A and B are shown apart, each in its own frame.
Chain A
Amino acid sequence: MAGGKTVLAGGNTKSWKLLLGLRIFAFMATLAAAIVMALNKETKTLVVATIGTVPIKATLTAKFQHTPAFVFFVIANVMASFHNLLMIALQIFSPKLEHKGLHVLSIAILDMLNATLVSAAANAAVFVAELGKNGNKHAKWNKVCDRFATYCDHGAGALIAAFAGVILMILVSGVSISRLLFNSNKFSTTKAPATATDVP
């Protein structure tokens, strides 16, 4: 029945492979960002005052939960990596559902939403981290990074991973939208589906 069958998107085509590869990298990047930031903690004993000759020490901890922006960062990256994992599983285990219109549309919209979410989280965290690194003399907020250098370094690593995740998620949504465009073009211009052509 090769004459009456419509063309099938999905399967082992070029855009499918590209999308899968990009999603795997995006999953790894967002997961790395979430894990590094979630395990970010540093404890230090500092001398806060001196009475006579006796120094008074206090143990201070820098945790990511102290800053709401970092909490949002961890949650958003966990959600984005979970979304990527789900999409990877969907892509591998059910390639024959790909050509239905609503399916491809919802994948494109979800990809865009998650790309936006990760970009918002990464941006909020980077501005608050810049406040912690440089302080702000107008508001009289002093720096945190000169005393908690390891905490700041780990946070910077998580932010770099998150920005790599943002770029990858933008590429993933771009590919999803182009698959959506191709899907709608294919179905609206198919008059007589005579042969099953290879779709890019």
Chain B
Amino acid sequence: MVKLTQRLGGLVLRFAAFCAALGAVIAMVTSRERSSFFVLSLVAKYSDLAAFKYFVIANAIVSVYSFLVLFLPKESLLWKFVVVLDLMVTMLLTSSLSAAVAVAQVGKRGNANAGWLPICGQVPRFCDQITGALIAGLVALVLYVFLLIFSIHHVVDPFLLRKS
């Protein structure tokens, strides 16, 4: 009974992480805004900035991976491999989130020393949607950290709770 609730907990966490990563991808891909500035027209898309492209690609990989692991059977030998892959996916998520937040912060506040003006004043809806996508990415990251600890506990059993 305990094993069933543990497995169910793992599945729920992974499904939630899949949803969060997918939400982050969708929110960022559909963010597009046109603003006119006198006669100039500025179209803000996520693909203008390399960090946002990396964020989209990384979260897409993570959501596909979570979806595939959801269907892994319980007694498969691949669970030890899943621990390693969970670690790599967590690192991918943190690096993509950190890069996207760093660049978004430059977009929101600008950089006075480099002469870069903030763009959020001209395209506020774009900025809000990017913020939402970054929050979804953060949720996916936190869920994956829990999943990593969960996988290590179940596959490696460092507290020696299982009697084999």
**Interface, chain A (partner B; CB < 8 A):** 62-63, 66-69, 72, 101-102, 104-105, 108-109, 112, 115-117, 119-128, 130-132, 136, 138-142, 144, 170, 173-174, 177, 180-181, 183-184, 187-189
Contacts and interface: CB of A to CB of B under 8 A. Distances in A.
B157 A68 contact: no
A11 B98 CA distance: 39
A184 B48 contact: no
B95 A136 contact: no
Contact of A116 (B49, B94, B105): B94
Interface of B: 42-44, 48-51, 54, 80, 83-84, 87, 90-91, 94-99, 101-103, 105-107, 111, 113-117, 119, 148-149, 152, 156-160, 162-164
Chain A interface mostly:
helix
A129 B65 CA distance: 30
Given A119-B95, A177-B83, 19 more contacts: A66-B113, A68-B102, A69-B106, A72-B102, A101-B159, A101-B160, A108-B152, A117-B94, A120-B95, A120-B97, A121-B98, A123-B99, A124-B98, A125-B102, A127-B50, A128-B103, A136-B48, A177-B152, A188-B157
A123 B164 CA distance: 43
19 contacts: A66-B114, A101-B159, A116-B90, A119-B94, A119-B95, A120-B94, A124-B101, A138-B42, A141-B114, A142-B115, A144-B114, A170-B91, A174-B84, A177-B83, A177-B156, A180-B158, A187-B160, A188-B160, A189-B164
